[in-house]
Structure 1
Amino acid sequence: MAIVLNQLSALEAARLLQRRELTAAQLLRACFARIEQREDTVHAWAALDKDAALAQAEALDKGAIRGPLHGLPFGVKDLMDTSDLPTTYGSSIYKDHQPEADAAVVALCREAGALVAGKTVTTEFATYKTPVTRNPIDPAYTPGGSSSGSAAAVADFMVPFALGTQTAASIVRPASYCGVVGFKPTFGVIPRDGIKPVATSLDTVGCFARTVPDIGLVASVLMRNPELQKLDYSGKPRIGMYRTLQWRHVMPETKEAYAQAADVLARAGAIVRDVELPSDYCSLVQLQSDVMAYEACHALARERKEYEGQMSPRLLDLLDAGAGISDEDYRSKLTLAGERYERADGWFEEFDVLLTPSVAGEAPLADLGTGDPLFGRVWTLFGVPCVHLPFAQGPHGLPVGLQAIGRRGDDHKTLSIGAWIHERLTR
Structure 2
Amino acid sequence: MISLADLQRRIEAGELSTDAAIAQSHAAIEAKEKDVHAFVRHDKSARAQGSGPLRGIAVGIKDIIDTANMPTEMGSEIYRGWQPRADAPVVMMLKRAGATIIGKTTTTAFASRDPTPTRNPHNTGHSPGGSSSGSAAAVGAGMIPLALGTQTGGSVIRPAAYCGTAAIKPSFRMLPTVGVKCYSWALDTVGLFGARAEDLARGLLAMTGRTEFSGIAPAKSPRIGVVRQEFAGAVEPAAEEGLLAAIKAAERAGASVKAVDLPEAVQEAWRIHPIIQDFEAHRALAWEFSERHDEIAPMLRASLDATVGLTPKEYDEARRISRRGRRELGELFEGVDVLLTYSAPGTAPAKELASTGDPRYNRLWTLMGNPCVNVPVLKVGGLPIGVQVIARFGNDPLALAAAWFLEDALARA
- Provide TM-score, normalisation by structure 1: 0.93
Please say if residues 359 and 372 of structure 1, whose CA atoms lie closer than 8 Å, have aligned partners that are also in contact: yes
Alpha-carbon distance, 1:170 to partner: 0.1
Q: CA deviation at 1:282?
A: 4.4
Per-residue deviation at 1:220? 1.4
Question: 1:400: which partner in 2?
Answer: 385
**Which runs of structure 2 are paired with 1:296-311 in the superposition (5 Å)?**
296-311=281-296
Deviation of 1:313 after TM superposition, in Å, equals: 2.5
* DSSP 3-state at the match of 1:426: helix
How big is the shift at 1:279? 5.1
1:387 aligned residue: 373
Q: Does 1:39 align with 2:67?
A: no
1:346 aligns with 2:331: yes
Q: Which amino acid aligns with 2:374?
A: H
2:265 equivalent to 1:251:
no
User: 1:113 and 2:107 equivalent?
Assistant: no
Does the CA-based 8 Å contact 1:231-1:419 persist in structure 2?
no
SS of the aligned residue for 1:119 comes to: strand
Q: By how many angstroms is 1:321 displaced?
A: 4.0
CA distance 1:245–1:318, change in 2 (3 Å): same
1:226 to 211, 214, 220: 211
- Structure 1 runs not aligned, ≥5 long: 1-6
Measured in 1, the distance between the counterparts of 2:317 and 2:202 equals 39
1:334 to 319, 328, 332: 319
Provide the alpha-carbon RMSD of the alignment.
Answer: 1.5
Q: Which segment drifts farther, 256-265 or 222-231?
A: 222-231
Per-residue deviation, residues 190-231 of structure 1 (Å, max 9, x unmatched): 111111111000000110000100000111133331331322
Q: What is the CA deviation profile of residues 42-86 of structure 1, one whole-angstrom value per residue up to 9, with x for unaligned ones?
A: 0000112202x03xx2xx3xx4xx221112011000010111111
2:8 equivalent in structure 1: 14
Shift of residue 277 of structure 1?
Answer: 4.1
1:426 aligns with 2:407: no
1:241 aligns with: 226
Is the Cα–Cα contact under 8 Å of residues 46 and 120 in structure 1 kept in the other structure? yes
- For these two proteins, the number of residue pairs brought into alignment is 411
Provide the identity percentage: 39
Say if 1:297 and 1:320, in contact at 8 Å, map to a contact too. Answer: no
Q: Could you list the runs of 4 or more consecutive aligned residues of structure 1 that deviate by over 6 angstroms after TM superposition?
A: none
Contact 2:269/2:321, CA 8 A, preserved across alignment: no
CA distance in 2, matches of 1:201, 1:375: 18
Over 3 Å counting, the alpha-carbon distance change for 1:234 and 1:362 in structure 2 is closer
Structure 1 Cα separation of the partners of residues 219 and 262 of structure 2: 29
Amino acid at match of 2:126: Y
Contact 2:223–2:337 at 8 Å: present in 1 too? yes
Residues 283, 367 of structure 1: alpha-carbon distance in 2 compared, 3 angstrom cutoff: farther
Aligned partners of 1:215 and 1:264: how far apart in 2? Answer: 22
Q: What amino acid does structure 2 have at the position aligned with 1:13?
A: L
Give, in whole Å, the separation in 1 of the partners of 2:24 and 2:253: 38
Aligned partner of residue 15 in structure 2, secondary structure? coil
Runs of 5+ unmatched residues, structure 2: none
- Output the TM-score relative to the length of structure 2: 0.96
Cross-structure match for 1:210: 195
8 Å CA contact 1:245–1:277 kept in 2: the answer is no
Cross-structure match for 1:370: 356
Question: How far, CA to CA, are the matches of 2:110 and 2:169 in structure 1?
Answer: 18
Over residues 142-174 of structure 1, what are the superposed CA-to-partner deviations in whole Å (9 max), with x where a residue is unaligned?
000000000000011110010010000000000
